[in-house]
Amino acid sequence: MMRMFKIVTQLMAALMVLMVSAANASEEKTMAQDFTLKSLSGENLRLQEMRGDVILVNFWATWCGPCRKEMPYLDELHQEFADLGFSVLGVNVEQDSNLATDFINELEVSFPVLFDNKQQVSELYKVDAMPMTVMIDRNGYQRVLHRGYVDGDEEIYRKIIKELIRE
């Protein structure tokens, strides 16, 4: 059973890397939608100001079990690749930002957490699952859209991040 899980995870990782490669070769690229949101620290953060970095935008909620499970892994990725021009942005979609603040303070994540209380950015990105992850390349193009989280997704993310950083 464990061996089958490992094989399936490796196949998924290879497929995601191929999808990124195909997207890179494609003539038509989708520019990531710009947004500005207030962060946990109280400052406004604008996506466009981060152009030049590879960005992983993760839409999440405290009531979402997979979101809670994924959060420490996202923090690991943020810390591992931050010096190479990579950042994670956690976008909380709940109306009550106090729930998110309590959860994030408990976890002590190192990446910026933003609040989309009115779901304007969620609508812009057509968020229809929790969590939902978008990866954006250094030029501001949306390269990966991933819905949900299962164990092993972080390894798929790691491979894609490495490829996007190398570009």
Partners of 57 in beta bridges: 89, 134
| % of residues, the chain, pLDDT over 70 | 83
Catalytic residue among 64, 93, 104, 160: 64
Catalytic residue among 16, 67, 127, 132: 67
**What predicted TM-score, i.e. pTM, was given to this entire model?**
0.84
Cβ-contact 167, 138 below 8 angstroms: yes
Task: Mark 67-88 as b/e (b = at least 16 C-beta within 10 Å).
Answer: bbebbebbbebbeebeeeebbb
Q: What is the pLDDT of residue 55?
A: 98
The Cα–Cα gap between 2 and 118 comes to: 42
Q: What is the pLDDT of residue 59?
A: 99
Higher-scoring residue by pLDDT: 83, 15: 83
Extract the tokens encoding 84: 């190479």
Residues 6+ apart with CB under 8 A from 160: 16, 17, 20, 135, 143, 144
- pLDDT tens for residues 94-147? 999 999 999 999 989 999 999 999 999 999 999 999 999 999 999 999 999 999
Q: Is 160 one of the annotated active-site residues of the chain? A: no
Q: What is the pLDDT of residue 3?
A: 52
Q: What is the pLDDT of residue 39?
A: 96
Residue 95 in 3-state DSSP? Answer: coil
16-30, 56-70, 116-130: least confident range = 16-30
Q: What is the pLDDT of residue 13?
A: 44
Q: Is 64 one of the annotated active-site residues of the chain? A: yes
Instruction: Check pLDDT > 70 for residue 7.
Output: no
Domains of the chain (ranges, CATH numbers):
2-166 (3.40.30.10)
Give me the residue label for tokens 């994670």: 88
